[in-house]
Structure 1
Amino acid sequence: MGVISLYVRLRPKFQAMCQDTIQVQHIAQIIGPNHVVTKIKKKTIHKITPEDSTYLVIDVMEIIDAIYSDYPEADIQIVGPNQTIIEVQSHHKPRRRPFLFMFVWVLLFIGSGLAIINFHEDVTMGSVHEKIYYLITGEKNAQPLLLQIPYSVGLGLGMILFFNHVFKKKFNEEPSPLEIEMFNYQQDLDQFVILNESKKKDKEKYD
């Protein structure tokens, strides 16, 4: 048999349940001869046990070792990331807690409202509205509602447009700043998990 060329690309993340068996096809995309790829995809890489932590990291070297065990003459080309994160999920469904949800919602509502009020107090927005009203009408008014009401409505609409969300509805496909921050946070979390798990494996290897 001649040299078999295989191209392997690991998926960044895979979700699994306890007692699941992780096969190559779950965490990697492989391109090569059909009869070879079909056999490799069925190979077991890891079986999740209750002793495993919430996150596991499968290195590409484990995939290469599994391939070489059956096809030592294979020419393997790695494309993309070198690790896959296995997120182990619990069988128990999270319980809905409406009272806790309402408490957090009210807490965030009051906190954000106070933050906006304190900001306007710091920049003396009230006196700014009075001056603008005086410049436009030539009259002094301690409560220029003609400006304050549209400003308050515009502030709420501006927040909705900025975050590109009304509850679960989006105005367009453009990601919101919150989604971008969550994406960056997830990327940092994945990198931390990979480095942390790699350190654990190295420590276990040399202990």
Structure 2
Amino acid sequence: MGDQVYIRLRNKTKIPKEKKILLKDIAYISASETWKKQLENAFIYQVKKEDKNIVVFDIFSIIELLSQQHPNLEFQSIGPNQTIAYIAIPNKHPHFSLVAFIWLLLFIGSGMAIMNFHYDVSMQEVQQKLHYMITGHQDKYPLWLQIPYSVGLGLGMILFFNHVFQKRINEEPSPLEVEIHNYQQNLDQYVTIHENELRKKDDD
């Protein structure tokens, strides 16, 4: 029996385009210091031009490859059975006119959504009735209610998304970030299952 080597695949990782993927790029390794340094630089895969933006690695194929390279070692898997390597695409700075158009589109769309919601629930009538119940006088535009309500609406959105521009208010994730995280987990699970199905078809 050879020396024990424990391998734990990362859930996912980002890889530059056309890069040689080494074991340390996609996995954590626990072994003696001599073997750890050698295994970390073990060649696993060469990202090719025809690869799109995702490459999925299976622990069994990795162990099989490492066993061929180092037959005197015994490999044990811990953790996930697959890892997803997202091939990084160089970021391109968007044109100012495109950013301005998207910002204007979102601004108008969100403004229309808020106004339509307030119209559906008759918010102005509610505020008028609140003003009459508190003061006993009729007022078509109770500004002392409407102005704080408008300011509070904006502050409430800031607290909800937990961001002021790019600055986070506190370490707690916002509901939007939680939903994005759940969506990403479902996407990763679909990718691994879909990749395994394609691999089975190719084997058949």
How does the TM-score come out when normalised to structure 1? Answer: 0.92
User: How many Å apart are 1:172 and its aligned residue?
Assistant: 0.7
User: How many Å apart are 1:167 and its aligned residue?
Assistant: 0.4
Counterpart-to-counterpart distance in 1, 2:129 and 2:9: 62
Counterpart-to-counterpart distance in 1, 2:126 and 2:17: 61
User: Which stretches in structure 2 are left out of the alignment for 5+ residues?
Assistant: none
Task: Find the counterpart in structure 1 of residue 117 from structure 2.
Answer: 119
Amino acid at match of 1:42: N
Amino acid at match of 2:38: K
Cα deviation code 1:134-173 (max 9, x no counterpart)? 1111111111111111111111111111111110011111
User: How many Å apart are 1:6 and its aligned residue?
Assistant: 1.8
Cα deviation code 1:151-202 (max 9, x no counterpart)? 1111111111111111001111111111111111211221122122222222
Task: Find the counterpart in structure 1 of residue 58 from structure 2.
Answer: 59
1:159 to 154, 157, 160: 157
Counterpart-to-counterpart distance in 1, 2:125 and 2:154: 21
SS at 1:80 equivalent: coil
Counterpart-to-counterpart distance in 2, 1:46 and 1:118: 54
SS at 1:107 equivalent: helix
Cα deviation code 1:28-79 (max 9, x no counterpart)? 1111222222222222111111111210001111221123224445443322
SS at 1:141 equivalent: coil
State whether residues 59 and 83 of structure 1, in contact with CA within 8 Å, keep that contact through their aligned partners in structure 2. Answer: yes
State whether residues 130 and 142 of structure 1, in contact with CA within 8 Å, keep that contact through their aligned partners in structure 2. Answer: yes
SS at 1:36 equivalent: helix
Counterpart-to-counterpart distance in 1, 2:155 and 2:183: 27
* 1:76 and 2:79 aligned: no
* 1:26 and 2:18 aligned: no
Deviates further, 187-196 or 130-139: 187-196
User: Which stretches in structure 1 are left out of the alignment for 5+ residues?
Assistant: none
Identity of aligned residues (%): 45
Counterpart-to-counterpart distance in 2, 1:127 and 1:19: 62
Q: How many residues align?
A: 204
Task: Find the counterpart in structure 1 of residue 99 from structure 2.
Answer: 101
Counterpart-to-counterpart distance in 2, 1:200 and 1:52: 15
State whether residues 45 and 62 of structure 1, in contact with CA within 8 Å, keep that contact through their aligned partners in structure 2. Answer: no
State whether residues 7 and 77 of structure 1, in contact with CA within 8 Å, keep that contact through their aligned partners in structure 2. Answer: yes
1:125-144 paired onto structure 2 within 5 Å: 125-144=123-142
Amino acid at match of 1:170: R
State whether residues 43 and 66 of structure 1, in contact with CA within 8 Å, keep that contact through their aligned partners in structure 2. Answer: no
How does the TM-score come out when normalised to structure 2? Answer: 0.93
Amino acid at match of 2:64: D
Task: Find the counterpart in structure 1 of residue 34 from structure 2.
Answer: 35
SS at 1:127 equivalent: helix
SS at 2:87 equivalent: strand
Amino acid at match of 1:201: R
Counterpart-to-counterpart distance in 2, 1:29 and 1:93: 28
State whether residues 14 and 86 of structure 2, in contact with CA within 8 Å, keep that contact through their aligned partners in structure 1. Answer: yes
